[in-house]
């Protein structure tokens, strides 16, 4: 059995299928770990959702910001952006089934020293605490009143974590950290406008994974979301968003030997 972690697909269905062929993925034996953002910007979001759903327990995906945006739009809480390519999903005959399945997915998955998440972990969070906090949002998404969560999901505040946070402020900062964060201060205050290269980070901030003594550094965190960062593989960080939607590549890594597989987009 092999485990392959795959970067942001964002509706690039043809490239995703080619990548599965290139790695000779066998759902009877192998596992896929997907960093989220299955949908949006690319032309094949509907086919990506159908394919990943069809893989059953052979594929584990965490939710990204674009996946949550799709769910919010479907509930009438958010409006489509000009660059969104979600109409095919929203108009599909199996729309409700696909969205219900998507809503059941995780924000974080941890196994054998690895942590799978879309964007990152705040430096104050241990893996154990992060998993517990992720479950709070997951429970809100799976609750019968889940639509209420989406009405409070958007926003940049609070900027930093406080154990005493409650209600939707607490759920919002957890969601933002897992699905939107790229940089923060050493104290964990997040900034969401920055999307660029490492050398252009504004003064006072650093990549979340470079914060000294972050509490999750004993694990290897696998994430995407930051296409300008590109492929980054270190002992405890694996960044896999290589900008397929921007003409880059769709990337997979085989965890057992860290071999890289890429399909040009």
Whether 207 is in a domain gets the answer no
**Mean pLDDT for the chain overall:** 97
Q: What pLDDT shows up at residue 99?
A: 98
Residue 248: inside a domain? yes
How far apart are the C-alpha atoms of 44 and 15, rounded to whole Å? Answer: 10
User: Sorting pLDDT into bands at 50, 70 and 90, what band is 132?
Assistant: very high
Q: Is residue 192 part of a domain?
A: no
pLDDT tens figures, 17-67: 999 999 999 999 999 999 999 999 999 999 999 999 999 999 999 999 999
| Residue 47 placed within a domain | yes
For 181-249, give the DSSP string.
--EE-TT--EE-S--S-GGGPPTT-EEGGGSTT-TTTTSEEEE---TTT--EEETTEEE----GGGTSE
For residues 202, 205, 206, 207, the Cα torsion angle rounded to the nearest 10 degrees is -90
pLDDT at 46: 98
The pLDDT of residue 87 is 98
Residue 38 contacts by C-beta under 8 Å, 6 or more apart in sequence?
9, 10, 11, 45, 48, 49, 52, 61, 64, 66, 67, 102
How far is it, in rounded angstroms, from Cα 198 to Cα 161?
A: 24
**Which of 111, 150, 166, 107 minimizes the C-alpha distance to 132?**
107
The count of other CB atoms within 10 Å of the CB of residue 145 is 7
pLDDT on residue 175 = 98
pLDDT 10s digits, 58-99: 999 999 999 999 999 999 999 999 999 999 999 999 999 999
Task: Indicate the number of domains in the chain.
Answer: 1
Mean per-residue pLDDT, 234-248: 97
pLDDT (average), residues 133-139: 98
Residue 8 included in any domain: yes
Task: Find the helix packing angle between 65-74 and 146-153, rounded to 10°.
Answer: 120
Q: What is the pLDDT of residue 142?
A: 97
**CATH number, domain at 36?**
3.60.21.10
For 129, the domain range is: 3-181+212-264
Report the 10 Å Cβ neighbour count for 10: 30
Report, as an integer, the average pLDDT of 190-212. 96
Residue 125 covered by a domain? yes
Question: Does 92 reside within a domain?
Answer: yes
pLDDT at 215: 98
């Amino acid at each position: 059995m092999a485990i392959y972690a795959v970067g942001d697909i964002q509706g690039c269905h043809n490239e995703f299928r080619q990548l599965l062929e290139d790695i000779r993925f066998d759902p009877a034996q192998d596992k896929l770990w997907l960093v989220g953002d299955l949908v949006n910007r690319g032309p094949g979001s509907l086919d990506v959702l159908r394919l990943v759903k069809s893989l059953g327990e052979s594929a584990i995906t965490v939710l990204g910001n674009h996946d949550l945006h799709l769910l919010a739009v479907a509930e009438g809480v958010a409006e489509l952006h000009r660059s969104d390519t979600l109409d095919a999903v929203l108009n599909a005959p199996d729309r409700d089934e696909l969205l219900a399945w998507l809503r059941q997915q995780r924000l974080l998955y941890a196994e054998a020293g690895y942590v799978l998440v879309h964007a990152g972990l705040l430096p104050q969070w241990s893996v154990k605490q992060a998993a517990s906090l992720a479950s709070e949002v997951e429970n809100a998404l799976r609750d019968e009143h889940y639509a209420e969560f989406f009405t409070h999901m958007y926003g940049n505040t609070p900027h930093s974590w406080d154990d005493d946070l409650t209600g939707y402020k607490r759920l919002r900062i957890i969601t933002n950290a897992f699905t939107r964060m790229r940089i923060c201060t050493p104290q964990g205050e997040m900034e969401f406008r920055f999307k660029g290269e490492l050398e252009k980070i504004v003064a006072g901030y650093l990549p979340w994974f470079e914060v000294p003594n972050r509490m999750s550094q004993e694990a290897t965190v696998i994430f995407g979301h930051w296409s300008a960062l590109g492929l980054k593989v270190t002992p405890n960080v694996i960044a896999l968003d290589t900008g397929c939607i921007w003409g880059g590549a769709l990337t997979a890594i085989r965890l057992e030997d860290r071999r890289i597989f890429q399909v040009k987009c």
